[in-house]
Amino acid sequence: MELRTVLVVGTGLIGTSAALALRKRNVRVLLADRDPGAVRLARELGAGEDWDPATQPGDEVDLAIIAVPPAHVASELLALQTAGAARFYTDVASVKAEPIHRAAQLGCDLASYVASHPLAGREKSGPGAARADLFLGRPWALCPTEEADPEATAIVLRLIELCGANPVEVGAVDHDRAVAVVSHAPHVAASAVAARLADATDVALGLAGQGVRDVTRIAGSDPGLWLGILSGNASPVAEVLEAVAHDLADAASALRALADGDGTATGELTQLLKRGVVGHDRIPGKHGGPASSYVVVQVVIGDRPGQLARLFQVCDEVGVNVEDVRLEHAPGLPLGIAELSVQPDAAAGLTEALRERGWQVP
Ligand SMILES: NC(=O)c1ccc[n+]([C@@H]2O[C@H](COP(=O)([O-])OP(=O)(O)OC[C@H]3O[C@@H](n4cnc5c(N)ncnc54)[C@H](O)[C@@H]3O)[C@@H](O)[C@H]2O)c1
Ligand SMILES: O=C(O)C(=O)C[C@]1(C(=O)O)C=C[C@@H](O)C=C1
């Protein structure tokens, strides 16, 4: 099953990332969004060409990817199917049961539609945050219903393969329960931790290290999008959060008891910390950070104009492409760390070249 032409509806973070990945594999990509600015930016980033429904025959479009917020998936699917925009359809929403249920209610054709969900994303929205390699090595759930045409499933599998992700076939209800545990409840927990920082003192924020950054990164995401995701998976997420809240309440009680001099209270706390280690160790592969195929080279840089430019100059001299860059500031210090993500085979050469030129590479 070949994917020659794909229509992406919703050229935000996920739609544009899929479009960029497909363009790299020479798939023709047509772009649509209700926001013309989002299409323009996606096009300028090389994600494809504007979709003109008046001139583009639907039977030439193999697959339409609906990459809009969960609440709009079903209505968008209906509109596209009514217009005969493509042969097959998928969506990428973070919840699955409700959009499928709504699509059935609206009378959408469920034979040509296989819902899906890439388990990859960022805390930033819009086409400007998109990356062609966002899905590399990541799980991508697909949830064919009983009505789904096997050809529709095959074409969605091909999409996942072209984006470099790993397909995971799962029922919609099971999917939603699973992502409540591994994505949606963690998001709310991150928000609750980050909310404590809103009125934290400057002294506290000045002491912020990597731990709090790791735990709260996703709390920086678009609240509107996440309200839609959480509302679409309300009961499973509530169930996980109730369990988390129970653990947190127990931990707080144990700490109160410890503060009151009851040394036996360490037992409960230790159990929670140990259960945390067990849970953490069960997460497969690398967690977060840039695409798993990159290696991060850390370089100490002074907080002076031109430092980054000089650093990139070295990368250029030794022919190393910087796939991503992140700056870690040390509050109050005239130093920071630049984390350069590069291809694994380029890391050693770059490290050597930097050290030779006097850069501190820890
Ligand atoms: N952000 C993530 O990390 C992530 C990861 C996996 C899946 N998803 C899912 O992907 C979908 C898109 O999320 P995103 O992060 O790319 O959001 P985004 O805000 O970056 O992009 C969404 C785009 O959809 C457009 N849009 C909204 N309603 C539309 C409609 N009816 N018709 C056409 N365009 C419309 C918006 O203008 C916007 O450009 C959501 O369903 C989300 O649940 C998000
Ligand atoms: O890493 C991030 O920033 C994400 O938001 C990714 C993440 C996740 O929780 O894993 C968030 C929601 C999506 O539905 C899929 C992926």
Is residue 230 domain-shared with residue 130, that is, in the same domain? no
What is the rounded CA–CA span in Å between residue 327 and residue 121? 20
**Closest residue by Cα to residue 295 from 339, 343, 338, 328:** 343
- The atom of ligand 2 lying closest to the CA of 94 is 14
**Domain for residue 115, yes or no?**
yes
pLDDT at 325: 82
Looking at 119, 144, 170, the residue that finishes a domain is 170
Is residue 144 domain-shared with residue 225, that is, in the same domain? no
Is residue 156 domain-shared with residue 180, that is, in the same domain? no
Domain carrying residue 197:
176-281
Is residue 59 domain-shared with residue 117, that is, in the same domain? yes
Taking the CB of residue 49, how many other CB atoms lie within 10 A of it?
Answer: 13
Name the residue with tokens 């140990």. Answer: 274
Lowest mean pLDDT among 195-199, 221-225, 269-273, 350-354: 350-354
Is residue 121 domain-shared with residue 11, that is, in the same domain? yes
**CA 69 to ligand 2 center in whole angstroms:** 14
pLDDT at 291: 42
CATH number at residue 118: 3.40.50.720
Q: Is the CB of 183 under 6 A from ligand 2?
A: yes
Domains in the chain: how many in total? 3
Considering only CA atoms, which residue is closest to atom 14 of ligand 2? 94
Please, which residues have CB within 8 angstroms of residue 240's CB and are 6 or more apart in sequence? 180, 181, 184, 185
Mutate to test the pocket of ligand 2, among 91, 119, 176, 213 (most ligand atoms within 8 A of CB): 119
Looking at 253, 281, 309, the residue that finishes a domain is 281
**Measured between alpha carbons, how far is residue 337 from residues 37, 182, 208, 308, 328 in Å?**
35, 30, 15, 11, 5
Secondary structure class of 180 (helix, strand, coil): helix
pLDDT at 156: 98
DSSP for residue 360: B
Averaged pLDDT for residues 323-327: 79
Q: Is the CB of 229 under 6 A from ligand 1?
A: yes
Is residue 156 domain-shared with residue 190, that is, in the same domain? no
Task: Quick: pLDDT tens for 200-254.
Answer: 999 999 999 999 999 999 999 999 999 999 999 999 999 999 999 999 999 999 9
Averaged pLDDT for residues 174-190: 98
C-beta of residue 337 within 8 angstroms of C-beta of residue 328: yes
306 confidence band (pLDDT: 50, 70, 90): confident
Task: Quick: pLDDT tens for 31-90.
Answer: 999 999 999 999 999 999 999 999 999 999 999 999 999 999 999 999 999 999 999 999
Task: Quick: pLDDT tens for 272-296.
Answer: 999 999 999 999 874 344 445 678 8
Looking at 121, 145, 170, the residue that finishes a domain is 170
Q: Is the CB of 40 under 6 A from ligand 1?
A: no
**Closest residue by Cα to residue 74 from 113, 20, 125:** 113
Is residue 224 domain-shared with residue 155, that is, in the same domain? no
**CA 339 to ligand 1 center in whole angstroms:** 29
